[in-house]
Amino acid sequence: MTVAILGPTASGKSTVAMAVARALGRTEIVAVDAFQVYRGMDIGTAKPSPADRAEVVHHCLDLVDPADDISVVDYRHAYDAAMVAIGERGHRALLVGGTGLYLRVAIDRLDPPGAWPAVRDALDAEPDTARLYERLRQLDPAGAAKMEPGNRRRVLRALEVCVGSGQPFSTFGPGLDAYPSNGVVQVGLRWRREALARRIEERFAALLDAGFPDEVRALAARPAGLSRTARQGIGYAELLDVIAGRATLAEATVQAVARTRRFATRQERWFRRDPRVHWVDVDDDPLAAVPTVIGALTACV
């Protein structure tokens, strides 16, 4: 049996995971994050520090160059390889992350539809996300109803599948609405909305102090640049606007914090739909969840 720590961004998942791994030993962390997979995108994704990675083995980080795209299928291959390696060493696996789709595909063994790059490129030429969403609503009303109209990445992916396969995106696989028993204990960190909002604002300020603008500047200066997906990362998109002279740092900060709050709300909605999640209410210190996670992990042995 495996344990997963989940929750919205800035909820303290990595802090809890490191505390658990230190306390138990023989525990390896598997990141479930759609942007920590990119090499060089370290500060803005709050990637585990080199010291943490030296102390505890981490998996599914730095999988691809930021100039490349990565699919959820690619992620699952890396996840599967990590789980095999952890098992061969006789260690525990602790999953940590906030990318709900990656987590579901990994733990529920979902088979995502294929990719049609030419179709996606043609769709991406349309700058108006609202128009893309309206087209998706016409082709796949059920699929469109389950996503935010402004979530360009998800809308594009769903449209790519609809057009490329000729079938509605929502018809693939057993569906995300099924929650089968899978042997994974999921522990969710739940904050009061206003408390999480403060943490998000404080964390972004800390990222800026840690050199986030310099990181984005270095990535933008690379000959290969950033892939379409990588440049959509929260904070990265806004700081790229600063570099391009389209916004001030103050404006970018306001936009990034607001976007992070909206993203956290979407994450919470996603995870709340899963009845298998065991929620831990956190008032001010995420380490309060450590005993619950340790109890779940030790019960799995």
- What are 40-59's pLDDT values in tens digits? 999 999 999 999 999 999 99
Q: Which CATH class is domain 2-111+183-299?
A: alpha beta
> Which pair of structure tokens corresponds to residue 223?
């000959």
CA distance 92 to 20: 11
Start-to-end CA distance of the chain, whole Å, equals 8
pLDDT tens for each residue of 211-241: 999 999 999 999 999 998 899 999 999 999 9
Q: CATH 3.40.50.300 in the chain, residues?
A: 2-111+183-299
**Residue written as token pair 């961004």:** 9
Question: Which is nearest to 235 in space by CA: 224, 244, 245, 215?
Answer: 215
Q: What is the pLDDT of residue 151?
A: 84
CB atoms within 10 A of CB 183: 8
Of 61, 15, 8, 17, give the one whose Cα is nearest residue 296.
17
pLDDT (0 to 100) of residue 94 = 97
Query: What secondary structure does DSSP assign to 217-248, as a single string?
Result: HHHHHSTT---TTGGGSTTHHHHHHHHTTSS-
Angle between helix 249-272 and helix 100-107 axes, rounded to 10 deg: 30
Contact in structure between 234 and 260 (CB atoms under 8 Å): yes
Does residue 174 carry a pLDDT above 70? no
Q: Is the pLDDT of residue 134 over 70?
A: yes
d(CA 141, CA 194): 33
Domain 117-171 annotated CATH 1.10.20.140 = yes
Instruction: Name the CA radius of gyration of the chain, rounded.
Output: 19
pLDDT at residue number 301? 55
The string of pLDDT tens digits covering residues 177-195 is 789 899 999 999 999 999 9
Distance of CA 18 to the CA centre of its chain: 18
Q: Where in the chain is the domain with CATH 1.10.20.140?
A: 117-171
CA within 13 Å, CB half, 145? 6
CB-based contacts of 18-22 (< 8 A; 24+ apart in sequence): 18/48, 18/52, 18/55, 18/56, 19/287, 19/290, 20/94, 20/290, 20/293, 20/294, 20/297, 21/55, 21/56, 21/94, 22/55, 22/56
Contact predicate 36/70, CB 8 Å? no
